[in-house]
Amino acid sequence: MAAATAMRFGQLSSGSDMAPDWTTKEVSTGTTIMAVEYDGGVVIGADSRTTTGAYIANRVTDKLTPIHDRIFCCRSGSAADTQAIADVVTYQLGFHSIELDEAPLVQTAANLFKASCYRYREELMAGIIVAGWDKRRGGQVYTVPVGGMLVRQPVSVGGSGSTYIYGYMDSNYKPNMTKDQCLRLVSGALSLAMERDGSSGGVVRLAAISETGVDRQVILGNQLPKWSTIYLTIYPTVCLKDWRSTLLSKGLEIYPTVCLKDWRYTLLSV
């Protein structure tokens, strides 16, 4: 029985259009990752969902990878590629630190990631955010997108869920924010992305990196800020004409000359 089942599954996975995509797709972090500079350090955060096609391979992945004592990277893209690069850079940076007999610079770590991502840009699918603190430049955030470019930014977002929160971050990030403000900003942005991006989900992992060390947090799914939509339904045969109805409790307004008759009208409010 088991042999017959294995044979049928092998036939499906060997090229049939009916084969599930997780039999052929690589493991991907999917993901939403971000890092923000604040006055005294950086805050980094990520969701925890890892997918293989439509299959969720791991719902509690740790995408915040320590590279050195006060240097972390956030990984997006192919899980295998990003883990391999992180391992290589961790080794190189550790050796560099031993040679110098002092903690390495965040920029040095970012340059090592850039060198690997650029050299193997045709083979790798890896988007990296490098963030940390050092005694020379304080808190820093560097972005290494697919292809191997390197740029320093005060705030960086990446992954498939990032497209949903660029506007949110542009509106809410301000220079010289405090640590607590950045933690709330990052957790809120990740929650927003996780609600709208199918490749992001699970829990939110946060880390605040400063001169005093690394403070890590995990926010469970039932503790996240909710951005769920509120639906107001106006049922059939409702006619509103030449009058103004203000729905203060929902923050909605129905203006004059609106006529709704014999059909169902749904107002959507966030």
What is the full per-residue pLDDT of the chain (270 aa) written as tens digits?
Answer: 445 544 444 554 445 555 555 555 556 656 899 999 999 999 999 999 988 877 888 889 999 999 999 999 999 988 899 999 999 999 999 999 999 999 999 999 999 999 999 999 999 999 999 999 999 999 999 999 999 999 999 999 999 899 999 999 999 999 999 999 999 999 999 999 999 888 898 999 999 999 999 999 999 988 887 765 433 344 444 444 443 444 444 444 444 434 444 333 443 433
Residues 150 and 86 in one domain: yes
SS (H, E, C) 176-187: CCCHHHHHHHHH
CA separation, residue 63 to residues 49, 86, 249 (Å): 9, 11, 40
Residues 171 and 238 in one domain: no
Residues 131 and 218 in one domain: yes
Residue 157, φ and ψ in degrees, nearest 5: -130, 150
Residues 95 and 110 in one domain: yes
- Beta bridge mates, 155: 36
Residues 105 and 197 in one domain: yes
Of 223, 242, 259, the residue that ends a domain is 223
Residues 172 and 253 in one domain: no
Residue 55, φ and ψ in degrees, nearest 5: -90, 130
| 19 falls within a domain | no
| 21 falls within a domain | no
Residues 253 and 201 in one domain: no
CA separation, residue 72 to residues 14, 143, 173, 206 (Å): 40, 12, 21, 11
pLDDT given for residue 143 in this prediction? 97
What is the residue range of 131's domain? Answer: 26-223
| 104 falls within a domain | yes
pLDDT given for residue 19 in this prediction? 57
pLDDT given for residue 17 in this prediction? 57
Residues 241 and 137 in one domain: no
CA atoms of 264 and 235, how far apart (whole Å): 5
- At 64, list the tokens: 């915040």
* Domain CATH code at residue 133: 3.60.20.10
Place of tokens 């339904």: 233
Domain count, the chain: 2
For the beta carbon of residue 9, count every other beta carbon within 10 angstroms: 13
Q: Where are the beta strands (DSSP E) in 117-192?
A: 126-134, 138-144, 151-152, 155-158
Residues 250 and 116 in one domain: no
Residues 90 and 204 in one domain: yes
| 3 falls within a domain | no
- Show which residues are catalytic: 31
Residue 170 burial (C-beta neighbours within 10 Å; 0-12, 13-18, 19+): exposed
pLDDT given for residue 57 in this prediction? 85
| 6 falls within a domain | no
